[in-house]
Structure 1
Amino acid sequence: MIGIIAAIDEEINFFIKNTNVIETIKDNNVVFYHLRKENKDIILAKSGAGKVNASMTATKMIDKYNPELIINTGIAGGLKPAEVGNFVIGNKLVYYDVNMSSHRSKHQHGKVRGLPLEYKSDSTLVAKFHKFFNERKIPNLVGTIATGDYFVKSSTYLENISKEVTNILAVDMESAAIAQVCYLHNIPFLSIRAISDIITINYKDEEFALNIKNVCGELGKQILEYICSI
């Protein structure tokens, strides 16, 4: 069984509308959907936004369903060279809002004590999705996704983590948290995000609302087609 985690309705709607829903289970604030498409079983979870919701959902999914891998999907803010509509395959996931330094000790910005600075997606999944998108001539980039509990409208939020890691292409609120849970449970993980808005000094709020439905639908379509092809 393949696990998919997304935060909000717009990010899960395509999957629900284009598969057979075998069962719907609500576990407090998390909703799990057992989906089936062409003999493929998928457990889809709507986590709610943010790192705590994401990590709790990933833990529950692993405990309840023991998926063979977990894909995190949804929208993200993009940084150049990413453009609206591009898919970003996160080969590395980092926190941009973690800082455990104090007057007593200094730690790398973004690093949870005792854990890696960067969580790595499953390299085989990264390569396979990159090839899948390229064969369909779908614009996609492979790079770092930075996660935190802010709605990022300016790259100034990323100044500290940019000193520690390179090639940040997208920012979101869930990917690194799910990656951390998968790292601790030794579950293959991949985050794929559709760029809904571009973070610049001239950020436009309306860009996010205008693009969310279309980019989520297209990304959901491609992920579902990939799952059915394997």
Structure 2
Amino acid sequence: MTAIVIQVAMDEEAQPFLDAAREVSDPIAVGRAVHRGIVLGDATVVLVRSGIGMVNAADAAAGAIHRYGPDDIVLISAGSAGGLARGVRVGEVVVGASAVNVEADARAFGYALGQVPGMPEVYGTDPALRRALADTRVGDIAVREGDMGAGEKFVTTGIADRLRADFPGLVSVDMETTAVAQVAHNHGARFAACRAISDLCAPDGDEFATHIDDAAERSARVVIDALARLTA
């Protein structure tokens, strides 16, 4: 039986899943992460709140794999992201086609920008999961597929300008997705990502604070709809 793990960073990103669940187990702490079993429609999944950042995300993903896997497990990175591509809009949902570590730079040793030595240049996502997420039609939510980046910095205007120059294909950026992708790669787990745009990498965090709840809601609605069709 496939174990489905939805991983978010913050309580705000977890809340829409909890609100939509018809059953919620008591929380269990695994390191700093918080795990809850929840029932969404006919799907029983594990909701993991990791904490913010690449290390917290990787630690939580590894903990989930060891607790619920590793033979057949799905990891879905959900929540919010900053919009990086020209033309992306706040409220739009991005389904990850690939993920790259925007902090990695080992070009001195012949690696591509964004490539951790010994790792792939980018991490792909599971085709069936990606297709189910991208095919979702929920209300007025716009969904697009695109390449995602993640690193340890909250991306504001200056950082965004550099990332657009260094990684011109990226649609969104956050602080967890690529860490989850790398852990999934290392353990042979299936991986997908679904992030809603909460801000457009503005000079400060005000735009993010204004739209985080709505972005979390939109990401959750797309994930829940896709799970309903995958588990039907």
Q: CA deviation at 1:108?
A: 1.8
**Is the contact made by 2:133 and 2:194 (CA closer than 8 Å) also made in structure 1?**
no
Distance 1:63 1:42, change over 3 A: same
2:133 match: 129
1:116 match: 120
Unaligned runs of 5+ in 2: none
d(CA) in 1 for partners of 2:16 and 2:27? Answer: 16
Matched position secondary structure for 2:135? helix
Percent of pairs identical after alignment? 28
Moved more, 206-215 or 218-227: 218-227
**Is the contact made by 1:110 and 1:161 (CA closer than 8 Å) also made in structure 2?**
no
Matched position secondary structure for 1:132? coil
Q: CA deviation at 1:39?
A: 3.2
2:59 match: 56
1:12 match: 14
d(CA) in 2 for partners of 1:3 and 1:229? Answer: 16
d(CA) in 1 for partners of 2:63 and 2:46? Answer: 12
d(CA) in 1 for partners of 2:68 and 2:174? Answer: 25
> What amino acid is the match of 1:78?
G
TM-score (norm 2): 0.89
1:100 match: 106
Q: CA deviation at 1:61?
A: 0.3
> What amino acid is the match of 1:220?
A
d(CA) in 1 for partners of 2:227 and 2:9? Answer: 20
**Is the contact made by 1:23 and 1:35 (CA closer than 8 Å) also made in structure 2?**
no
**Is the contact made by 1:35 and 1:43 (CA closer than 8 Å) also made in structure 2?**
yes
Q: CA deviation at 1:38?
A: 2.9
Matched position secondary structure for 1:179? helix
d(CA) in 1 for partners of 2:119 and 2:222? Answer: 32
1:78 match: 83
Give a deviation string over 1:148-192, Cα, whole Å, max 9, x none.
100111223315632xxx521000001111001101111111111
Q: CA deviation at 1:220?
A: 1.2
> What amino acid is the match of 1:182?
A
d(CA) in 2 for partners of 1:214 and 1:220? Answer: 10
**Is the contact made by 2:141 and 2:218 (CA closer than 8 Å) also made in structure 1?**
no
Unaligned runs of 5+ in 1: none
Give a deviation string over 1:103-137, Cα, whole Å, max 9, x none.
xx34222111111010001112112211123x755
Runs of 4+ in 1 over 4 A off after TM superposition: none
Size of the aligned set, in residue pairs, is 222
**Is the contact made by 2:164 and 2:170 (CA closer than 8 Å) also made in structure 1?**
no
d(CA) in 1 for partners of 2:131 and 2:225? Answer: 16
> What amino acid is the match of 1:82?
V
TM-score (norm 1): 0.90
1:179 match: 181
- From 38, 41, 47, give the equivalent of 2:41: 38
**Is the contact made by 1:22 and 1:36 (CA closer than 8 Å) also made in structure 2?**
no
Q: CA deviation at 1:138?
A: 2.7
1:146 match: 149
